Amino acid sequence: MKNSFGKMTTLEAVMEFFHDGMTVMFGGFGGVGSPPTLIDGILEKGISELTLIGNDTGFPHIGIGKIVSRGLAKKVIASHIGSNPIAGQLMHDGKLEVEFSPQGILAERIRAGGVGLPAFLSDIGMDNELVSKNKPLFAIDGKDYLVETALTAAVSIIYAKKADEYGNLIYDKSARNTNPLVAMAGDITIAEVEEIVPLGSLDPDEIITPGVFVDYLIPSKGVNWKWAWE
């Protein structure tokens, strides 16, 4: 079921957008701010060969780490994987490709994807092979810079504290982290939210992600949205 804006729906309905071999971008920092219901839905469907883009690989049993730890990802683009030793072992064994990007650069690559920029230049990590590997250089005034390409995904999954029916989002403190940027960079963006409120209930100054970036809203586990369809 959907409301009149076509955004409020169910986990079962949005799972049609997920398939083997796709690219998924996710919000969260060490699992905080990652959408648990959507992640569990991916696990239950058994989707594999995923390319995951996000800040980190969570912990083995927290956040996106649950997907990584089951070997369902073929590649991860992240700033670090140190909190998930299983991810490190998979990389060591050649079962998981990891593209490392410094945290600020990663955030800017996601933002660039969200606003339609193909790439930007940076001198961060030029002396680090893990960062500079296979990246072209561009010279300005005799100084070389790395070409950092923008990041986008077929589907972005995010987590918010509160939403109205149009998809305007408010986040809970540090759970905001990368979610607003990730929301911008998906061909389809699905937000899992804890609370849905009527239109006009949110203070415009509190809204972090405008509804224009959100395609679908699903309730987090235990949330009842029945009133919205009455």
- What pLDDT digit, counting tens, does each position of 94-109 carry? 999 999 999 999 999 9
What pLDDT was estimated at residue 1?
41
**N-to-C CA span, the chain:** 11
Q: For 92-161, give the DSSP string.
A: HTTSSEEEE--HHHHHHHHHHHHHT--EEEE-TTTT-HHHHTT--EEEETTEEEEEEE---EEEEEEEEE
* Span 25-29, average pLDDT: 97
Q: Return the percentage of the chain with pLDDT > 90, whole number.
A: 90
Residue 203 in this model has a pLDDT that exceeds 60: yes
What pLDDT was estimated at residue 229?
45
Q: Across the chain, what does the average pLDDT equal? A: 93
What pLDDT was estimated at residue 2?
46
- How deeply is 174 buried, as exposed, middle or buried, from its count of CB atoms within 10 A (0-12, 13-18, 19+)? exposed
Residue 228 in this model has a pLDDT that exceeds 70: no
User: Tell me: the pLDDT tens digits for 61-83?
Assistant: 999 999 999 999 999 999 999 99
Q: Classify domain 11-229 by CATH number.
A: 3.40.1080.10
DSSP state of 79: S
Judge if pTM exceeds 0.75.
Answer: yes
Contacts of residue 175, Cβ cutoff 8 Å, sequence gap at least 6 = 32, 33, 159, 161
Residue 226 in this model has a pLDDT that exceeds 80: no
What pLDDT was estimated at residue 5?
59
User: Tell me: the pLDDT tens digits for 136-194?
Assistant: 999 999 999 999 999 999 999 999 999 999 999 999 999 999 999 999 999 999 999 99
Residue 112 in this model has a pLDDT that exceeds 90: yes
Residue 224 in this model has a pLDDT that exceeds 50: yes
- The C-alpha atoms of residue 90 and residue 180 are separated, in whole angstroms, by 29
Contacts of residue 174, Cβ cutoff 8 Å, sequence gap at least 6 = 29, 32, 33
Q: Residues 180-206, buried b or exposed e (16+ Cβ, 10 A)?
A: bbbbbbbeebbbbbbebeeeeebeeee
